[in-house]
Amino acid sequence: MKSGFLLSQKDLLQSVEKLSLKGSAGFLLGPTPSGTMFTREQFTEEQKEVGKIATDFANSKIRPNDEKIEHKAKEEDGTPTIIKLVKEAGELGLLGIDLPEEYGGLNMDFTTMMCTLENLAINGSYAATHIAHLGIGTLPILFFGNEEQKKKYLPKLATGEWISCYALTEPGSGSDALSGKTKAVLEGDYYILNGTKQYITNGSWADLAIVFARLDNQYTGFIVELNQPGISRGAEEKKMGIKGSSTVSLIFENAKVPKENLLGKVGDAATIALNILNLGRLELGFATLGAAKDVAKYTIEYGKQRKQFARPVIEFDMQMAKLADMVSRIFSLDALIYRTVSGIDAGLKSKGGHSASDVDVIRNYAIEASICKVEGSEMLAQVAGDSVKMMGGYGYCEEYRSEKAVRDCFINMIFEGTNDINRLVIFDFLVKGIYNQEIPFRDFMEMVESSLEKKNLAYPIEDSILSKEKHKVYAAKCLTAWMIQQCIIQHGKDIKNQQQVMKNISDMVIQIYAADSSLSRAHYLLHDKKHAGLVSSLVRLIVSQSTSAIQNLGSQVFASLWDTPSQKKQEEWNQLCSWAEYKENIFALKQEIAKATLEEGLFI
Amino acid sequence: MKIVVCVKRVPDTALKVKIGSDRKSIEKGDVEYIVSPYDEIAVEHAIRFKEKTPGTEVVVVTLGPADSEKNMRTCLAMGADRGILLQSNADTMDSFNVAKALSDAISQEKPDLVLFGIKATDTDSSQVGAIVSMLLGIPFLSTVVSFSLENGKIKADSEVESGHLVLQSTIPCALSIQKSNVDPRICSLINIRKAKQKELKIVPVDIPNDHFEIEKMELPAERTGGKIVGHGPDAVKELLRLLHEEAKVI
């Protein structure tokens, strides 16, 4: 053990503060110091202005076209309505917010761009189409394209003159994303592509695709112009939801791709695909945030008007509890997702830009991006499902938006890597980070073990706001780190075969990130004395539910590790659980949250 | 052709208004201010006129505190050429004094056309446009939903309760703009950037508030549930009785 416990704790705190800006689940290894986290409450005037444009566009252009979008209607000139809208968004500048000015963009940060995605996501089909274009369809060129490629393609994509898509999945290569069989062979000045890509969002109307193919058995990225011989598009998939978006196969039969359209270097597919997917997951999280707020508002509107037993249905206790669950999960996703994107922005700013050499910033946020995706998609599924239940028979009818919200939301748990795959990503990157000593896990565990020996867990920051809740979340971090250590010791390399263990650990990490970020957001709000009653109830509910979930998930892992745990292990576990124990009257909290929400409409 | 559009900042119409502790004003804590929606439509009319009529200049004028600049920039991003902010912290409903300050500024511009929204959504008083016109000594055409320049005169379609009036006026004249199928445009991001560079003249003004004051402000009483008095023709008699004796509306 290191000598001088207090000193090492101070060192630890400093390194955690630095880490909180660098991703890699640094949030797990110490308290998050107040004032180090960005929240929407700190939007600049410009960010608010840009966000409002997206809101205005959503309300005045997308919402009135919900029906036309859903049925893939076309305008008089044959353009699908949804594509007409994407192009209008391009004219307003909403497709080029994060692109450099020299390529037709506005050179703003990802935070600003993603805030627009939140506001535009009131229609699932539109959100999928918009995001597939400006995210995974455009960003590979921004980060990995050479100067000529950027000059040639980005201005067209920034205005919506061209629509783009991302072609990675194949019929035999879904979650095992890098095992695709599409082949590329160099013949003279062209690569000849053969193979089939499947489930390609925007496939039927895209002009351009980022395509991954095997070149000399090295998986490689290409920029492919789609309107040319040798490329055909399959029939539209008949999907459960997001019916207004296009999902087709792209079939390459001796398609000629000019030599200069190789993206990055030969064999770069993994670097391109996986890093860009991190941004895609983050974007998807923002879309779920916007969609959930829209559904919550709609549900409230209905619940206030619909009366049973001579009272608005929203005023009944069980309905209020569902409403409080909606608001609390929305509040915490909002906190953790802006924390994540602002961290990436800070990292990119310090590196100076958007190029292949800067992508390690994005890689460092793989865990956080996966959390945004998993938590966002599952939060939206809960919100949409509860909305239908709260609206009863009406909620089940197509005429009411909640029915569509349920159908549309399921895909978020599947694309951009299924939520199961994302849970494996969280665990895998976490363990790699520990083994490679990218995060001070050992130092943190020394502190945890020392605290267990002393039977005293000191909270290393003096803080008057929410101090009890912060202490409990800190204890939950110690508990989670301890459990991760036990899993690594017990399973060793076999851990990769223990997917249920990995899932539980990932879920514990997700809960920590949600509670920790909610606390930091609440700290700001309470410090500024804003909506104190509601914020305090929200954060107490979130911390209560998170710490309880973490203990439950951890108990299941604990039971799987030893048939008969040693007395020492049992005592340590009991001690950690007692430190993290936080019980509140959650029924009362939910009542308070729902009442305040109905009165003020805040945070949704 | 020079068009002056008078705009006012108002609390966001999506805001749930709360009455302040003085019972004479609204709580201003987290209030976001927007360009009054009818004024925004008036700006849109002016910009559309300008797009059809080369050589037109659109000037927006407002009276308000320093942070009204944000709302003026919105109008500039929509396409107005320049703005004049008559800066005053007076929180007044005194339409005459407001109109006086506006007309003093507008008269220096010598516009051909002055546009107003039919009313500001905060006070709903619909007075300033008419008073400004009177002070400027120019004709005032109200509830206009569309207008055009024909043979050197303004031809305006005015919406009245029973139909439409087609009016014609010499210029200069003033119009108050009613909501129609003309929706304000969404500003593009690039235009928002450009708007930051456009001229915005700030002129401090003093607004006396010596005519009247607000004694009390209160929210409308909460709506209570309706009453079903019966079904079919049999219920009519009872309904009439209630309307006459309880509600006392007939």
By the CB < 8 Å criterion, does A160 face chain B? Answer: no
pLDDT of residue A5: 36
pTM for the whole structure? 0.91
pLDDT by residue (tens digit) across B119-132?
999 888 899 999 99
Boundary of a domain, candidates A163, A187, A212: A163
Range with the lowest mean pLDDT among A239-248, A291-300, A358-367? A358-367
Whose tokens are 């039977």? That residue is A455
Cβ pair B42, B22 in contact under 8 A: no
Kindly state whether residues A511 and A445 are assigned to the same domain.
yes
Cis status, amide bond into B172, omega within 30 of 0: yes
- The answer, yes or no, to whether residue A506 has pLDDT greater than 90, is yes
Query: Is A102 known to be catalytic?
Result: no
Q: How many residue pairs from chains A and B have C-beta atoms closer than 8 A?
A: 32
* Residues whose CB is less than 8 angstroms from the CB of residue A533 and which lie 6 or more positions away in sequence, other chains included: A592, A596
User: Which residues of chain B are within 8 Å of residue A293 when distances are taken between CB atoms?
Assistant: none
Is residue A233 included in any domain, yes or no? yes
pLDDT by residue (tens digit) across B66-83?
999 999 999 999 999 999
Cβ pair A92, A55 in contact under 8 A: no
Is residue A397 included in any domain, yes or no? no
User: Which residues of chain B are within 8 Å of residue A93 when distances are taken between CB atoms?
Assistant: 188-190
- The answer, yes or no, to whether residue A400 has pLDDT greater than 70, is yes
* Average pLDDT estimate for A548-567: 97
Query: A240 falls in which pLDDT band (50, 70, 90)?
Result: very high
Whose tokens are 């300033």? That residue is B128
* Average pLDDT estimate for A136-144: 96
CA distance B77 to chain A (A): 11
By the CB < 8 Å criterion, does A535 face chain B? Answer: no
**Dihedral sign from CA coordinates of A460, A465, A470, A471:** positive
pLDDT of residue B227: 78
pLDDT of residue A15: 55
Is residue A306 included in any domain, yes or no? no
User: Which residues of chain B are within 8 Å of residue A94 when distances are taken between CB atoms?
Assistant: 189
Cβ pair A421, A176 in contact under 8 A: no
CATH of the domain at A62: 1.10.540.10
Kindly state whether residues A197 and A156 are assigned to the same domain.
no
- State both tokens at A355: 């190029």
Nearest to B15 by CA among B225, B221, B219: B219
Q: Which fold has domain B2-204?
A: Rossmann fold (3.40.50)
pLDDT by residue (tens digit) across A288-314?
999 999 999 999 999 999 999 999 999
Boundary of a domain, candidates A114, A141, A163: A163
Cβ pair A364, A347 in contact under 8 A: yes
Is residue A288 included in any domain, yes or no? no
- The answer, yes or no, to whether residue A1 has pLDDT greater than 50, is no
Nearest to B164 by CA among B172, B173, B155: B155
Kindly state whether residues A593 and A502 are assigned to the same domain.
yes
- State both tokens at B183: 């929706």
- State both tokens at A310: 């001579």
How far is A343 from B77, CA to CA, in rounded Å? 31
CA distance B122 to chain A (A): 20
DSSP per residue, B80-94: -SEEEEEE-------
ipTM score: 0.81
CA distance A91 to chain B (A): 7
How far is B86 from A521, CA to CA, in rounded Å? 38
- The answer, yes or no, to whether residue A501 has pLDDT greater than 80, is yes
Kindly state whether residues A73 and A152 are assigned to the same domain.
yes
pLDDT by residue (tens digit) across A162-201?
999 999 999 999 988 899 999 999 999 999 999 999 999 9
pLDDT of residue A543: 98
Q: What angle do CA B63, B67, B68 make, to 5 degrees?
A: 35
How far is A359 from A549, CA to CA, in rounded Å? 34
Whose tokens are 């998993």? That residue is A374
Domain that holds residue A170: 166-263
DSSP per residue, A74-118: B-TTS-BHHHHHHHHHHHHTTTSTTS-GGGTS----HHHHHHHHH
Cβ pair B183:A60 closer than 8 A: yes
How far is A196 from A183, CA to CA, in rounded Å? 10
CA distance B223 to chain A (A): 12
* Residues whose CB is less than 8 angstroms from the CB of residue B170 and which lie 6 or more positions away in sequence, other chains included: B139, B153, B154
Domain boundaries, chain B: 2-204
Is residue A151 included in any domain, yes or no? yes
Kindly state whether residues A437 and A538 are assigned to the same domain.
yes
> Within a 10 A sphere around the Cβ of A586, how many other Cβ atoms?
19
How far is A474 from A580, CA to CA, in rounded Å? 8
Which of A59, A92, A304 is the best substitution to test chain B (most B C-beta atoms within 10 A)?
Answer: A92
Cβ pair A290, A121 in contact under 8 A: yes
End-to-end CA distance of chain B: 53
- State both tokens at B247: 């509600």
Cβ pair B169, B182 in contact under 8 A: no
How far is A206 from A37, CA to CA, in rounded Å? 38
Kindly state whether residues A47 and A103 are assigned to the same domain.
yes
pLDDT by residue (tens digit) across A427-443?
999 999 999 988 999 99
Kindly state whether residues A131 and A110 are assigned to the same domain.
yes
User: Which residues of chain B are within 8 Å of residue A601 when distances are taken between CB atoms?
Assistant: 16
By the CB < 8 Å criterion, does A300 face chain B? Answer: no
pLDDT of residue A20: 53
Cβ pair A193, A183 in contact under 8 A: yes
Kindly state whether residues A117 and A197 are assigned to the same domain.
no
Kindly state whether residues A203 and A99 are assigned to the same domain.
no
pLDDT by residue (tens digit) across B182-230?
999 999 999 999 999 999 999 999 988 777 788 899 888 877 767 788 8
Distances, alpha carbon A94 to alpha carbons A86, A282, A354, in Å: 9, 17, 19
pLDDT of residue A10: 56
How far is A105 from A157, CA to CA, in rounded Å? 10
Is residue A311 included in any domain, yes or no? no
How far is A114 from B143, CA to CA, in rounded Å? 41
Kindly state whether residues A500 and A549 are assigned to the same domain.
yes
Cβ pair A56:B186 closer than 8 A: yes
Is residue A304 included in any domain, yes or no? no
Q: What percent of chain A has pLDDT over 90?
A: 87
Facing B189 at nearest CB: one of A50, A61, A307: A50
Whose tokens are 């549309």? That residue is A408
The SS3 of residue A461 is coil
Nearest to A264 by CA among A141, A361, A103: A141
- What total of structural domains would you count in chain A? 3
How far is B117 from B8, CA to CA, in rounded Å? 9
End-to-end CA distance of chain A: 47
CATH of the domain at A546: 1.20.140.10
pLDDT of residue B249: 84
pLDDT of residue A13: 54
Is residue A393 included in any domain, yes or no? no
Work out the mean pLDDT of chain A and round it to a whole number. 94
Q: What percent of chain A has pLDDT over 70?
A: 97
The amino acid occupying position A66 is D
CATH of the domain at A198: 2.40.110.10
Cβ pair A310:B30 closer than 8 A: no
The amino acid occupying position A34 is S
By the CB < 8 Å criterion, does A45 face chain B? Answer: yes
Cβ pair B189:A56 closer than 8 A: no
SS3 track for A313-338 = HHHCHHHHHHHHHHHHHHHHHHHHHH
Boundary of a domain, candidates A163, A181, A207: A163
